[in-house]
Amino acid sequence: MFKAVDKNKIFDSNKKYSENLNKDYDYFCQKVSKLNIDIKYIEEKISNLDLALPSWGLGTGGTRFGRFPGFGEPRNIFEKVEDCGVVNDLVGITSSISPHFPWDNVDDYKALKDHATNFGIKFDVVNSNSFQDQINQKYSYKFGSLTNSDKSIRQQAIELNLECIEKGKILGSKGLTVWIADGGNFPGQQNFSRSLSHYVDSMKKIYKSLPADWKILLEHKPYEPSFYSTVINDWGTSYVCAKELGEKAMCLVDLGHHLPNTNIEMIVSRLIDLKKLGGFHFNDSKYGDDDLDTGSINPYELFLIFNELVDAFHQKKISNISYMIDQSHNVTDPIESLIQSSNEIITAYVKSILVDQKILAELQKKNDIIGANLLLKEAFNTDVSGLIKKIRYENNNAIEPIYTYRELNYKKEKSKIRIQDKKNKPGIV
Ligand SMILES: [Mn+2]
């Protein structure tokens, strides 16, 4: 197997940053020694963390006002896989890619799978795009897809999802994520009840074709692109639909798909108890579905979400959760943003493991509010970078992945081969 990054280059780069490695690690060990947690336990826990990278997040995204492509960016799914290989070689916790169809359509899916294997990359859940019309598409999704009032259009959207499943089967995926843009911009435009019932009927047809070992993830979002009403507008609606569909249907929580100030960690807890938490789309936001880098605005929220997950893991309430990054990188090199986000996620996860859930439960029982708050803050404020860097070093990944990546001049090298289409394309790639 060949890897995206020459191992020797990582090795050489690591030499520069290894000086403080043991000091930082020792500091972490000292901090943790005061807690009732074995470091080996933490290492074992985080070794199972695997984050899927979004195929659409490897290129520079855009806004409705325009797009400013970066040099050397990938032009197709094969090149995106290669870039995922770079991220994973550096951080070691992102060994899969989540493709989006028809954006990532190819002629030969077996060849794509083999190509990915060469870079140590697997295929995570597949995504269907029924929020955009494609060239030569028979019917338009302008007024909705799976919930459209026109049966032929609903059928076309169903078939798109069935095709996604077939492609995913060849790629080795084990799930399908469905997010629809369906909704209305004006009161009276859409019958709320009828459109939801169309959604359930359409999803039932897709669900029937789901392989036995697959899951289907339902993604909710309160608004955008529809600004008055959205069919799958919140986690409750998503839950009811998942429940109606059956065991393989689960809810996906995209952090940006909530109104400002929503208590997302509580939604996570609710879905855990209802046995319907299936996965995440990690990102961050200030105002809406901003798709900013994970942890860039509110790392405490990310920590609190993981705190709920760790508690649920302890109690064996959850398994098979899909973790995916879903961001749009408009002004940064997507590779750097994805490295940074993966680091924020593992950091939040490690910190949440430091919370002693038993002590927290005792404090809650005694109504010691400040005590409980302190316990969370102490974990959150612990510098866990020493452990994370040490693990990366021991696994032949980069101690300082962003700096090592910059030393590689990867995009500069790629720009010689990846000749870009000069057309000024709007929006996301
Ligand atoms: Mn999403």
pLDDT, one tens digit per residue, over 8-31 is: 999 999 999 999 899 999 999 999
Q: Which two tokens stand for residue 292?
A: 């900013």
The reported pLDDT for the residue numbered 3 is: 83
Percent of the chain with pLDDT over 70: 98
For residue 174, report the distance from its CA to the centre of ligand 1, in Å.
17
Residue 240 carries which side chain, given as an amino acid letter? V
For residue 96, report the distance from its CA to the centre of ligand 1, in Å.
16
pLDDT at 429 over 70: no
For residue 311, report the distance from its CA to the centre of ligand 1, in Å.
24
Note the Cα 111 to chain centre separation in Å. 25
Among 171, 161, 157, which residue's Cα sits nearest to residue 77? 171
pLDDT at 86 over 80: yes
Beta strands in 264-355 (DSSP E): 277-282, 322-325
For residue 229, report the distance from its CA to the centre of ligand 1, in Å.
18
pLDDT at 224 over 70: yes
Most confident of 19-28, 34-43, 266-275: 266-275
The reported pLDDT for the residue numbered 427 is: 46
For residue 187, report the distance from its CA to the centre of ligand 1, in Å.
26
pLDDT at 36 over 90: no
Q: Which of the four pLDDT bands, split at 50, 70 and 90, describes residue 420?
A: confident
Q: Which of the four pLDDT bands, split at 50, 70 and 90, describes residue 186?
A: very high
d(CA 280, CA 272) in angstroms, rounded, equals 12
For residue 40, report the distance from its CA to the centre of ligand 1, in Å.
33
Against a cut of 0.85, is the pTM above it? Answer: yes
Segment 224-246 shows an average pLDDT of 98
Segment 61-66 shows an average pLDDT of 86
The reported pLDDT for the residue numbered 273 is: 98
For residue 225, report the distance from its CA to the centre of ligand 1, in Å.
13
pLDDT at 2 over 70: no
The reported pLDDT for the residue numbered 328 is: 93
From the CB of residue 298, how many other CB atoms can be counted at a distance below 10 Å?
16
pLDDT at 421 over 80: no
Segment 329-357 shows an average pLDDT of 97
Place of tokens 């290989």: 85
Q: How many helices, marked H, and strands, marked E, lie in the chain?
A: 16, 12
Q: Which of the four pLDDT bands, split at 50, 70 and 90, describes residue 69?
A: confident
pLDDT at 425 over 80: no
For residue 186, report the distance from its CA to the centre of ligand 1, in Å.
24
Segment 287-297 shows an average pLDDT of 97
For residue 385, report the distance from its CA to the centre of ligand 1, in Å.
28
Q: Which two tokens stand for residue 87?
A: 């991220």
